[in-house]
Amino acid sequence: MFDNLLSDNRKSLKEFSQIINMFPNFISIKNKKFYYTAVNSTVANILGCKSPEIVMEKNINDTHIQAPAALLAEDFYEEDHLVITENKRIKVFCFAYYADNKNHAFFGEKFPIKNKKNEIVGIGCTSMDVSSSNMINFGLMLAKQNSRYSAKFNKKQFTFILKENQPNIQLTSRQKECLFYIIRGRSTKSIAAELNLSPRTVEKHVDIIKTKFKCYSKNALIEKAIHLGFLNMIPERLLSTHINFNIKSFMSL
């Protein structure tokens, strides 16, 4: 489906744009130089173009966005570069002011696009606007608590990669959820109420987590978890709850 998207075949690009216009989500394709080569109408609108065809004609990248979102171009580049260099999919959360004069909160996935020879030829991105859901408050909370993004948070714009797991330490779904709240200083009673569990059950999960992390106190656990990158680990069930959306079905589009 993507074989001809990074070529100069305008007919193929136009046909693809017509196809992706059938989807309500935000869908875009960039080449390896990070220029947009195909987008649907929703993406064209926030980029400041009247149609997908104009995006292709202008040959634009994120620095050309006619809105404050252009200030995040370097961060978008880092995400796209990671997709290409490490040949992997990443989930991202972005909050920015776009050319349609609106603040948007996007949850989405960026992924490598390959040709028939299995060579990476570009980056695809499919996102959904969660501005009207609880996910926007969820994302703002994450950004505010992560010092790396504090400057961007103060400017009311940011984008960051969401991590779902830490391969060196295997946790169950419930353990991931408990750890998510532990890192953020929530009490056992608060976590129990949030996850609809008994305090005793939460304590058992915490004890198991501390054992897996080889920590003997909650403070040591929090410090080690943050050091290992768990601050941006977002359990899938929590994401699904906050945006009322099945992540796996969305990512299969």
Q: How far apart are CA 26 and CA 28, in angstroms?
A: 7
**What are residue 119's phi and psi, to 5 degrees?**
-95, 140
- So what CATH class is 173-233? mainly alpha
Q: How far apart are CA 55 and CA 95, in angstroms?
A: 22
Q: How far apart are CA 213 and CA 47, in angstroms?
A: 44
Q: Minimal CA–CA distance to 128: which of 2, 250, 252, 45?
A: 250
pLDDT tens for 192-234 read 998 999 999 999 999 999 999 999 999 899 888 877 878 767 7
Amino acid at 158: F
Q: How far apart are CA 22 and CA 47, in angstroms?
A: 19
Q: How far apart are CA 8 and CA 88, in angstroms?
A: 25
10-163 adopts what CATH topology? Answer: Beta-Lactamase (3.30.450)
Question: Any idea where the domains of the chain sit in the sequence?
Answer: 10-163, 173-233
pLDDT tens for 140-182 read 666 555 545 444 554 578 888 876 555 578 899 899 999 988 9
Tell me whether the CATH fold assigned to 10-163 matches the one assigned to 173-233.
no
Q: Are strands 26-31 and 103-114 parallel, antiparallel or unpaired?
A: unpaired
Q: Which two tokens stand for residue 239?
A: 């994401």
Rounded to two decimals, the pTM is 0.65
pLDDT for res 204: 96
Q: Minimal CA–CA distance to 15: which of 47, 40, 33, 32?
A: 40
3-state DSSP call for residue 236?
A: helix
